[in-house]
Amino acid sequence: MGRYIVRRLLWVVVLVFAVVTITFLIFSVLPSGADPARLRAGRSPNPRLVEEIRHRYKLDQPVTTQYGLYISDLITKLDFGHSFQNDTDVLDEILKRLPATISLSIGACIVWLFVGISVGIISAIRRRSLLDRTAMGLSLVAISAPVFWLGLVVLYLFADDIGKIPILPGAGSYTPITDNPWHWFTSLILPWLVLAAAFAAIYARLVRGNLIETMSEDYIRTARAKGLSERKVILRHGLRSAITPVVSALGLDLGLLLAGNAILTETVFNIPGIGRMSYNAIVNSDLPTIEGVVLFGALFIVVLNLLVDIAYAFIDPRVRYT
Amino acid sequence: MTPLLDVQDMHVTFETEDGLVRAVDGVSFSVEAGKTLGIVGESGSGKSVTSLTVMGLTRGPSTKISGTAMFEGEDLIAASDVQLREVRGNEVAMIFQDPLSSLHPFYKVGTQLVEAIQTHQHVSRGAAWDRSGQLLELVGIPEARKRLDHYPHEFSGGMRQRAMIAMALSNDPKVLIADEPTTALDVTVQAQILELIAKLQAELGMGVVIITHDLGVVAEVADEIAVMYAGRIVERGKTDTLFDSPAHPYTWGLLESIPKLTGPREEELIPIPGRPPSLIHRPSGCAFHPRCPYVREEHKKIDPHLEPVPEDGGHSVACLLAPNTRRELWAKLSAGEEPEQARAEVPLQ
């Protein structure tokens, strides 16, 4: 197991390096209309200013030199470079915004796991009941509803500034947990619910399907033949097996969210997270920021997948890594 | 002697999209302490459903069950789920066909045994663990205590079935129901498992029901055999009687389709023609008539019932042929004649 983890971690390094390189390559072949120096210089800029910016950010150097400099700074000094657009240190900026994204993603994750798994179990054991049909119908709605629409609807309904039933802080109210934990919590309730809705629906369907399948396994019959209560049969024997695919889905989904995929929710609720940062960076051809965001995203996804694989070995004793 | 488990007129039907499945259609049998009943039949004859129903494992919204299954003065068919759980795995235990899929792959064998013990006995985990070790030893697993820490996939097929048996025995049941306990195992292991069941039965005095499609299995261990066809018992008798003077053409077919080591090599096996009947659209009259070589026109209309075979104590059969005709036919068949030949020589009555 230890050797397996070391080997996987080495692969993480290789993969992140490949991701950084590919991002650089894509950027370097971008059409010239997205010239970062010109974008930085503002509307109808002085050509000399553009040249100066180009020089300052070493954009006048060959791509290979730029790439070499970037990589060597990254490895030797853990320096992610400076943003082309506002001169801030990329790593600082990412670290500053990361807590918001992590708060949003993990909180939503807890919500959707709780709702998804509970609804999934109930739907599975009351299969074809009115409850099951209602839950599965609602889940279709939740999956189909776009985040930007759902977000606006809940803001219209519940936000304390524009809402019809103003009970919760609305857009732009995000407060870091270190400033005011209570405010942090209330400000994130709506975003959590909105972000979690589609995931909860998908997970409910996943759990339902898996549990229904598991409950027809022979070992469930054995568990019943032992005289166990149905509750124990379902939770201890059925769910234990049905939860495995949920763990793999969770690794992927949470990784993607932390990598900035919560961008729509961040935008609707005006939360200063990684998603918004990457969007701005792309619009402004801000290569160092793009690289930084992509690198962090790749790290999250790879590491979470590694965690999933390790978790598998604990869930299923038949899984052995060497 | 009063039977331990007494099943009377059990009917089980399942509502399916294709129609009503009459899986068990009026089955009665009983088991005494220390005795073994073999229930034999091909797939879809209702033998597994019969045993699962005794355990209450076929209950569900689309299942209809009637009849009685008396165990120690309690009707297991009428019992509530809670009452039934007290009996299940405690006084009536069951082992299943495929020992790999019947054990939970994610839990240690010891944990699964402990769970079985603690469901019915108020003992500490440590005590239950010790008892589990003894149980594994009892069923002949070497290094039993160490094996408790292993997962089912680390056991061989025979070991898994031994572990299943250990689990079934964990609360000293009075009745053990074994549903095709050896079907998924190698022939050599089969014999070991059957021997083990017989040995434990002798030691613990349990009543045993063995369900199988293999007459060879019950020949060795059963005191009495019931042959099932299309959800009914079509013949029942002492094991020796059933092998010496079987009375139902279906039983003849089962016996004829067993390869004999003593016969000449070129002797052909005689399979039973046709397929098992649909339990949704039961054949009219005698359910076996479409496959019976000795069918007469009226057999397609009259539904036979289990009746005693004259001058043969405890032996009963559901067949419309006259007792004399059956005796003559079986005499020809057991002399090595083929069904067509026998049929041509014996006037059917």
Q: Does B115 contact A228 at a Cβ distance shorter than 8 Å?
A: yes
How confident is residue B57, by pLDDT bands cut at 50, 70 and 90? very high
Tell whether B121 lies on the interface with A, counting CB pairs under 8 A.
no
- pLDDT confidence tier of residue A95, bands split at 50, 70 and 90: very high
Residue B139 vs residues A102, B3, B18: alpha-carbon distances, Å: 54, 26, 43
φ/ψ of residue A270, rounded to 5: 55, 50
Per-residue model confidence (pLDDT) at position B316: 94
What confidence category does residue B242 fall into, taking pLDDT thresholds of 50, 70 and 90? Answer: very high
ipTM of the complex: 0.88
pLDDT averaged over chain A?
90
B34 torsion bin: left (phi>0), alpha (psi -120 to 50), beta (else): left
Between residues A153 and A50, the one the model is more confident about: A153
In tens, the pLDDT along A158-177 reads 998 888 899 899 888 899 99
Tell me what pLDDT residue A152 has.
Answer: 93
Shortest CA gap B2–chain A (Å): 25
Share in percent of chain B as helix, strand, coil (round to 5): 35, 20, 40
A241 touches chain B (CB under 8 A): yes
The reply to whether residue B101 touches residue A316, judged by beta carbons under 8 angstroms, is no
Which pLDDT belongs to residue A320? 82
Phi, psi for B113 (deg, rounded to 5): -70, -45
Residue of chain A whose Cα is closest to the Cα of B119: A228
Residue A25 has pLDDT above 60, yes or no: yes
Answer yes or no: do B57 and A226 touch at CB < 8 A. no
Q: What integer pLDDT is reported at residue A105 of this predicted model?
A: 96
- pLDDT value at residue A226: 94
pLDDT-derived band at A150 (thresholds 50, 70, 90) equals: very high
Asked whether residue B299 carries a pLDDT value surpassing 70, the answer given is: yes
Please say if the pLDDT value at position B340 is more than 90: no
Residues in chain B with CB shorter than 8 Å from the CB of A316 are 105-106
Token pair for B91: 């006084």
**Percent of chain A at pLDDT exceeding 90:** 57
Does residue A285 register a pLDDT over 90? Answer: no
Partners of residue A218 in chain B, C-beta under 8 Å: 96-98, 101-102
Tell me the average pLDDT across A201-230: 95
- DSSP classification of residue B121: S
Q: Which of B92, B106, B109, B177 to mutate to test the interface with A (most CBs of A within 10 A)?
A: B106
A213 touches chain B (CB under 8 A): no
Preferred mutation among A219, A243, A318 to probe B, highest tally of B CBs within 10 A: A219
- What pLDDT is stored for residue B146 in this prediction? 95
Q: What is the pLDDT of residue B326?
A: 92
Which of the four pLDDT bands, split at 50, 70 and 90, describes residue B1? Answer: low
pLDDT at residue B300, as a whole number: 92
Element (H, E) at B317: strand B316-317
Q: For residue A106, give how far its alpha carbon lies from the nearest alpha carbon of chain B (Å).
A: 28
The yes-or-no verdict on residue A221 having pLDDT over 80 is: yes
CB-nearest to A226 from B105, B108, B116 is B116
In tens, the pLDDT along B128-185 reads 999 999 999 999 999 999 999 999 999 998 999 999 999 999 999 999 999 999 888 8
Taking the CA of residue B9 and the nearest CA in chain A, the distance in Å comes to: 23
| Residue A205 pLDDT > 90 | yes
Q: What is the pLDDT of residue A50?
A: 84
Least confident of A130-134, A160-164, A181-185: A160-164
Q: Give the pLDDT band of residue B114 (cuts 50, 70, 90).
A: very high
The beta-carbon neighbor of A227 closest among B89, B103, B106 is: B89
Residues of B in contact with A317 (CB under 8 A): 105-106, 108, 151, 153
Distance CA B114, CA B149 (A): 12
Q: What does the pLDDT average to over B70-97?
A: 93
Which tokens belong to A269?
């609720």
- Which range (A107-121, A273-287, B193-207) has the least confidence? A273-287
Q: Which SS3 state, helix, strand or coil, does residue B46 take?
A: coil
Question: Rounded to a whole number, what is the distance in Å from the CA of A314 to chain B's nearest CA?
Answer: 9
In angstroms, the CA A261 to CA A273 distance is 10
Across the A:B interface, residue pairs with CB atoms under 8 Å apart total 69
A228 and chain B in contact, CB less than 8 A: yes
Q: Does residue A32 register a pLDDT over 60?
A: no
The alpha helices in chain B, defined as continuous H runs, are 47-54, 81-87, 99-102, 109-120, 125-138, 144-147, 157-169, 187-204, 215-221, 239-244, 249-256, 323-334, 339-345
Q: Identify the closest residue of chain A to B109 by CA–CA distance.
A: A317
pTM of the model: 0.86
What percentage of residues in chain B have a pLDDT greater than 90? 71
CA atoms of B110 and B271, how far apart (whole Å): 44
Ranges of each domain in chain B: 103-170
For the stretch B247-287, pLDDT in tens is: 999 999 998 887 777 766 676 777 888 888 999 999 999 99
List Cβ neighbours of A279 (8 Å cut-off, separation of 6 or more): A263, A267
pLDDT score, position B235: 96
In chain B, which residues have their Cβ closer than 8 Å to the Cβ of A223? Answer: 104
Name chain B contacts of A318, Cβ cutoff 8 Å: 105, 151, 153
pLDDT of amino acid A33: 54
